[in-house]
Amino acid sequence: MSNNSAVGIHDLSFATTEFVLSHEALAEYNGTEIGKYHIGIGQRSMSVPAADEDIVTLAAAAAAPIIAKHGNERIRTVVFATESSIDQAKAAGIYVHSLLGLQSACRVVELKQACYGATAALQFAIGLVKRDPDQQVLVIASDVSKYDLDSPGESTQGAAAVAMLVSADPALVRIENASGLFTADVMDFWRPNYRSTALVDGQESVQAYLQAVEGSWKDYGEQGGRTLEQFAAFCYHQPFTKMAYKAHRHLLNYAGFDTDKDDIERAIGQTVAYNTVVGNSYTASVYLALAALLDQADDLTDRPIGFLSYGSGSVAEFFAGTVVPGYQQHLRTEANLEVIARRKPVDYAGYRELHERSFPADGGDHPTPAQTTGPFRFAGLSGHKRLYQAR
Cα within 13 Å of Cα(94), Cβ side: 11
Nearer to ligand CAA, 11 or 188 (CB): 188
**Cα(49)–Cα(343) distance, rounded to whole angstroms?**
10
Instruction: Tell me whether residue 248 is one of the annotated catalytic residues.
Output: no
Reference 287, options 16, 3, 6, 5; nearest CA is 16
Cis bond before residue 47 (omega within 30° of 0) = no
Find the binder of ligand CAA among 124, 189, 274, 378 (CB under 6 A): 189
Catalytic choice (115, 235, 317, 355): 115
Q: How far apart are CB 175 and ligand CAA at their closest, in Å? A: 22
Report if residue 275 touches ligand CAA, rule: CB under 6 A.
no
The residue from 20, 26, 50, 115 that contacts ligand CAA (CB under 6 A) is: 115
Does 33 help bind ligand CAA (rule: CB under 6 A)? yes
Question: Does residue 287 contact residue 162 with C-beta atoms inside 8 Å?
Answer: yes
**For residues 161 and 81, what is the distance between their CA atoms, to the nearest angstrom?**
10
- State which of positions 37-76 bind ligand CAA (CB under 6 A): 39-41
- Asked whether 348 and 29 are in contact (CB, 8 A), the reply is yes
Closest of 46, 45, 37 to residue 242, by C-alpha: 37
Q: Yes or no: say if 138 and 163 are a contact pair by the CB < 8 Å rule.
A: yes
Residue 346 burial by Cβ neighbours in a 10 Å radius (0-12, 13-18, 19+)? buried
**Segment interacting with ligand CAA, rule: CB under 6 A, options 125-133, 176-184, 198-206, 354-362:** 198-206
Strands (E), 169-228: 173-183, 189-190, 199-200
Among positions 200-219, residues that touch ligand CAA (CB under 6 A) are 200, 202-203, 205-206, 209
> How many chain residues touch ligand CAA (CB under 6 A)?
27
Taking the C-alpha atoms of residue 363 and residue 117, their distance in angstroms, rounded to an integer, is: 31
Contact of 235 with 306, CB cutoff 8 Å = yes
Q: Looking only at residues 293 through 312 of this chain, which bind ligand CAA when binding is defined by CB under 6 A?
A: 310, 312
Applying CB under 6 A, does 239 fall inside the site for ligand CAA? yes
d(CA 13, CA 63) in angstroms, rounded, equals: 7
Query: Interface residues for ligand CAA in 140-179 (CB under 6 A)?
Result: 152-153, 155-156
235 catalytically annotated: no
Catalytic residue list contains 83: yes
Is 364 among the residues that bind ligand CAA (CB under 6 A)? no
Residue 180 or 311 with smaller CB distance to ligand CAA: 311
Active-site residue (options: 83, 248, 250, 317):
83
Distance CA 23, CA 11 (A): 32
Q: Which is nearer to ligand CAA, 43 or 322 (CB)?
A: 43
Residue from 237, 248, 250, 355 carrying the catalytic annotation: 237
As measured in angstroms, the least distance from the Cβ of 323 to ligand CAA is 25
State in angstroms the smallest separation of the CB of 368 from ligand CAA.
27
Residue 373 C-beta: closest distance to ligand CAA, Å:
28
Residue of minimal CB distance from ligand CAA?
40
The least CB distance from residue 33 to ligand CAA, in Å, is 4
- At 250, the amino acid letter reads H
Q: In terms of CB distance, is 216 or 372 closer to ligand CAA?
A: 216
- DSSP E strands, 112-172: 136-145, 158-168
Which residue type occupies 343? R
Number of residues in the chain: 391
Q: Using CB under 6 A, list all residues that contact ligand CAA.
A: 33, 35-36, 39-41, 115, 152-153, 155-156, 188-189, 200, 202-203, 205-206, 209, 237, 239-240, 243, 280, 282, 310, 312
Residues with catalytic annotation? 83, 115, 237
